[in-house]
Amino acid sequence: MSCPRIEVDLSKIRVNTQTVVRRLGPRGIGVTAVTKAVCGHPAIAKAILDGGALGLTDARINNVQRLRQAGITCPVTLIRTPMLSQVDEVVQFCEASYNTEIAVIAALASAAIRKDKVHGIILMVEMGDRREGILPENVAEVAQQVMTMEGVALTGIGANFACLSGIAPSASQMASLCDLANEVEGVCGPFLKTVSGGNSANLPWALGDRTTGRINDLRLGEAILLGVDPTSGDQIGGMYTDAFTLVAEVIETGVKPAPFPIALTDPTTERLRTVTSRGASARMILAMGHQDTDILGLSMPVGSTLIGATSDHLVIGTSRSMKQVGSEVRFQMNYNALMHAMAAPDIEVKLLGDPPTRLSRRAQGKVEHLALV
């Protein structure tokens, strides 16, 4: 089997999705799955849809195109406010997008009119993460402007937490978002279809004791893929944390003498060194490096320590019996490591588990419906 590779257990991803869908359903919250960390990988997306996600969302239009080319016809939104240079593709491939800029919304509207479509607009509100979003006091006004435009329909509002700040949302922030939904409807009239409360960092709030109010959607990536709460890094009860495994091959083993007392040839070269090797140590080199993944986001196998990495080499110290050249070492990845590895051109993605043999009903969506007519 080729190395390095990512082994993906599709059944674990499906079960993770089912678990969050079942827990959030009784609270009136549907799950929109975020596929950006897996670059819109179609088979992974299908496993997620099989698990009961209502739709998909991604930050990049290329990933959405990949989903569409694989025959996925469920609702797909763009969670990153569209680039002006990509509005035609956004309107073509996405039912709706999250937006913060009126100039972009106007361009989406023109593009939609050209294509004889109506594109959904979800306004992203800044609620404290200090990344994207319209300030709450300006949302009603922007919503009114959107209402006057042809080619676009105001379908919802949303907020995002913990991405830049790392701080999970508070109950009062979530209540403010619900109030804002009511305010926008008071001014604009239509019932907002989507009130999207945030991402995986919202799960402790959403599954807690308090009412979840008007929030009827969460956009979940990390929780479904890695089974962890992003703010604490802790496993979410009942979820698999090992749906993805990164496998690399040993290309050198042995004992290296202590480093020579010379300066590094290039002091500006950033070298990752977490263990200063005192004396000789048993080490192995794997054919994988910074070009493939975020090395600091790998959990080392038991008995192993990270000595360092360069673009193409990963040096590991081991207290266990040495592996042979040609053998494989397996790693779990955090979200950053997963995201980089999934995008790395030299890493094969190997699908395990029982992949859905046909597109699920949800994945087929409209196509199946048309076939019935």
Cα-only R_g, the chain? 23
Residue 230 found at the interface with ligand PLP (CB under 6 A): yes
- State phi, psi for 315 to the nearest 5 degrees: -105, 125
Residue whose CB is less far from ligand PLP, 43 or 59: 59
Residue 125 found at the interface with ligand PLP (CB under 6 A): no
Residue whose CB is less far from ligand PLP, 74 or 220: 220
Residue 160 found at the interface with ligand PLP (CB under 6 A): yes
How many residues sit close enough to ligand PLP to count as binding (CB under 6 A)? 15
* Residue 69 C-beta: closest distance to ligand PLP, Å: 22
Q: Assess contact for 176 and 136: CB atoms under 8 A.
A: yes
State the SS3 of 212-236: CCCCCEEEECHHHHHCECCCCCCEC
Residue whose CB is nearest to ligand PLP in the complex, by number: 221
* Residue 59 C-beta: closest distance to ligand PLP, Å: 6
Dihedral angle over CA of 59, 332, 296, 237, nearest 10: 70
Residues in 61-100 at the binding interface with ligand PLP, rule: CB under 6 A: 79
Q: DSSP E strands: which ranges in 59-151?
A: 76-78, 96-99, 119-125
Closest C-alpha among 117, 124, 121 to residue 106: 121
* Residue 139 C-beta: closest distance to ligand PLP, Å: 16
Residues paired with residue 152 on neighbouring β-strands, in sequence order: 119
What sign for the dihedral angle of Cα 319, 9, 59, 25? negative
Contact mark string toward ligand PLP, 33..62, x via CB under 6 A:
-x-x----------------------x---
Residue whose CB is less far from ligand PLP, 231 or 360: 231
Closest C-alpha among 334, 335, 310, 315 to residue 248: 315
Contact mark string toward ligand PLP, 137..156, x via CB under 6 A:
--------------------
Residues in 197-226 at the binding interface with ligand PLP, rule: CB under 6 A: 199-201, 219-223
Neighbours of 131 (CB within 10 A): 14
The region of 171-179, 193-201, 278-286, 361-369 touching ligand PLP under the rule CB under 6 A is 193-201
Residue whose CB is less far from ligand PLP, 217 or 249: 217
Q: Is 337 exposed, middle or buried (0-12, 13-18, 19+ CB in 10 A)?
A: buried
* Residue 98 C-beta: closest distance to ligand PLP, Å: 6
Q: What's at 108, amino acid-wise?
A: L
* Residue 348 C-beta: closest distance to ligand PLP, Å: 24
Is it true that the peptide bond before 136 is cis, omega within 30 degrees of 0?
Answer: no
Residues in 263-322 at the binding interface with ligand PLP, rule: CB under 6 A: none
Sites of contact with ligand PLP (CB under 6 A): 34, 36, 59, 79, 160, 163, 199-201, 219-223, 230
